[in-house]
Structure formats: C-alpha cells, structure tokens
Amino acid sequence: MKKRITLKDVARAANVHVSTASRALDPNTSHPIRDELALHIRRVSAELGYELNAEAYSLRTRRTRLVGVVIPDITDPVYPLILRGLENALLPRRFVSIVASLDGDMSREADVTALMRSRNVDGLILGSVEREDVVATKLLSQGVPLVTVGRRVENESVSSVTSDHVEGIRQALAHLRALGHRAIAHIAGPQKLSTGADRLKAFRGASAALGLGVSERAIVAADAYSIDEGRRCARELVARATGTTAVVCANDRLAVGAIAALRELGLECPRDLSVTGYNDMPMVDLLSPGLTTVHVPLVEIGSESARLLLDLLDRPEPEREARHVVLPASLVVRGSTRPPPP
C-alpha cells in the first residue's frame, strides 16, 4: 500500500519547519511567508502528492472551508454564471461550495439552510431571499456569516451584492425615448423580491425624469420571473394599455414570454411593439429578434459575493460589518427595439 504523504514529509523535502509548511499551504495564513518560499513549498507539496487532511484541518481551525449557496431556481440561466463567479473567488482560498436550488419554493429555504448548517458550512450565500426574509434575519441573529447575491433583504445588517437597477432601467427608458417612444409600459418583477420592487421604483423615477407619463394601467407585476408570467402580463397589457408602443421588462425571461405572447396575438416585435429585458442572460442574442436588454455582470456579482463572505469569515464576529456592493449595469441594444410605428 502506498504511504500517505504527510505535512512532515513536505516540510522535510522543502527544508523548512513543519509550522512554516503548514502556513504556506493555507491561503488564510500564508501572507507572512515570503512569496518565493511559499511557492517553493507548494511546488514540493504538489510533486509529492500531498493532500490536506480536511478533518484534521477542521478540528484544528474550526473551519470546514465549505460555503452553502442557495439559489431559487437552477433552471434560470443567470445562476450558472453567478456560480462560476463564486467558484472563481472561493477556489483560490481553498473553499468549495455546496449548492441547493429551491425550485421556486421559498418554503424550503429554512430546511435547506438548516441542512447546510448541519454540514458545518462556514457561511452562507443566499440568492433566494425575499425582501422580508425571516430565514435570513434569523440566521444573522444567530451569528451566521451571510451574504445575499443578486437580491437584498430589507434588513440593512445583511450584506448584499446587486446591480445598479436605477441606472439599468434609466438606460432602457432613455434608449426607447430616443427612438421616439412615449407610451412605454412595464412588466414588473414579483414585488416580494427586491429586484422586482427596485426596478419598478426605478421605472417610475426614470419615467418622471425623462418627461414620460406613467399610467398605472401600463404597469403589470408578474408573480414569478418566468416565461409564462411574461406571456400573461403581455396579454394583459395589450388588452388594457392601448396605444403602448414599448415594454420594459424586469428580466429576460419575462421579455421572452412577452414576445411570444405578441406573436400569439398576431403582433410582431419590434414592428408593433418594442421590448427590452434585464440581465442579458445567455442566448438572448440568438433570439429572433435579438433581445435589447440591460447587461448585468453576473460572474462578477458571484465573485464579489464570495469575496464579501470571505472577508466576513476573516474577521471576529464583533467586527463583522455589513457591506452593500452595487455593480454597474449597461444597456445592450439588439433587434427587439426600433422607432414606434407611424
């Protein structure tokens, strides 16, 4: 049977003390060691095939290097990009994630987070939260390091990473106004979610600032970020907001559903109605027409949320202060918008 390589073997081969080898191989403690020496020790470790004993490390540091990640729906194309960003930031620090999807059922959030805590995760990143999220508030009160990603909760003590909804919606409206649109409707996201409420507020504010009148009949809120809800909301708008020439949708799935509904009603986008989305999820550029949408840096949002959590973990609990990071959003113009029909 092949002998298991130990930390002592690495230290002996690298000609350093065992404690120096241990610090060099731990990203959390390697900073006092000269870069050249740390690199030498890591190379020796790799050549010998040394593997960290996770159980021993956990007993020694009271850390598992596991991060629990909860997302609302694994079928939503934005989340693989967010998860990629998370891993980009976690892996260099030798952390890995445990990912769970709620499949759109928020009632599962408490059970899922409890299961993750039973696996001794060091902290949690939640993409599933609602504005008034009892689970997030309870976790915070229990001292669990916590960051929300893509969404936020009303409790300002919970750290968050989001995009600039105000600027994103403003750019979409300004683009439509420059094309000549004046009767612009909004398919809002679910109002129990911060993204739905914040983008609706941004729509009202930007409409007023751009001199566009907003009729409440031209605003329909979806119950979920889904293609089916986009269909339903678009049909409702066509029926009750006559004269509308453009629709700003709170996310891309709603926009895809809206465009499908227009076709089913014998209308065409953008000939009869221009449509914009939000997020710039994968493959919306391949639609016919390609979707004009607000690009959100989803990979960066994931990376930043992981960095925020790692920063919380690096601090003693009394020094953990909430931070709220807002990343820029920018409009990508494609084929789903054009001047209004004459």
Q: What is the mean pLDDT of residues 292-299?
A: 98
CATH of the domain at 147: 3.40.50.2300
Are 139 and 80 members of one domain? yes
Whether residue 338 is contained in a domain is answered as no
Are 147 and 204 members of one domain? no
Token couple for 132: 């008034």
The sign of the torsion formed by the CA atoms of 299, 304, 305, 306 equals positive
The sign of the torsion formed by the CA atoms of 236, 198, 297, 340 equals positive
Are 275 and 304 members of one domain? no
Are 286 and 255 members of one domain? yes
This prediction's pTM: 0.84
Identity of the residue numbered 286? L
Q: What is the mean pLDDT of residues 81-99?
A: 94
Identity of the residue numbered 64? T
Are 194 and 246 members of one domain? yes
Place of tokens 């229990």: 142
Q: Kindly give the interhelix angle for 109-118 and 134-141, rounded to the nearest 10 degrees.
A: 30
Please state, in angstroms and rounded to a whole number, the distance separating the CA atoms of residues 60 and 338. Answer: 62
Instruction: Please state the separation of Cα 244 from the chain's center in Å.
Output: 32
Backbone angles phi, psi at 114, to 5 degrees: -65, -40
Are 158 and 15 members of one domain? no
Are 113 and 37 members of one domain? no
In the chain, what is the straight-line distance between the N-terminal and C-terminal CA atoms, in Å? 82
Q: What percent of the chain has pLDDT over 90?
A: 75
- Domain region containing 71: 66-163+298-328
| pLDDT per position as a tens digit, 156-201 | 999 999 999 999 999 999 999 999 999 999 999 999 999 999 999 9
* Alpha helix (H) residue ranges in the chain: 7-14, 18-24, 35-48, 54-61, 78-90, 109-118, 134-141, 165-179, 194-209, 227-240, 252-264, 298-314
pLDDT of residue 292: 99
| pLDDT per position as a tens digit, 261-291 | 999 999 999 999 999 999 999 999 999 999 9
Residue 340 is classified by DSSP as P
Number of compact structural domains in the chain: 3
Place of tokens 């059922």: 105
Please state, in angstroms and rounded to a whole number, the distance separating the CA atoms of residues 84 and 80. Answer: 6
Are 118 and 229 members of one domain? no
For residue 59, pLDDT over 50 is answered with no
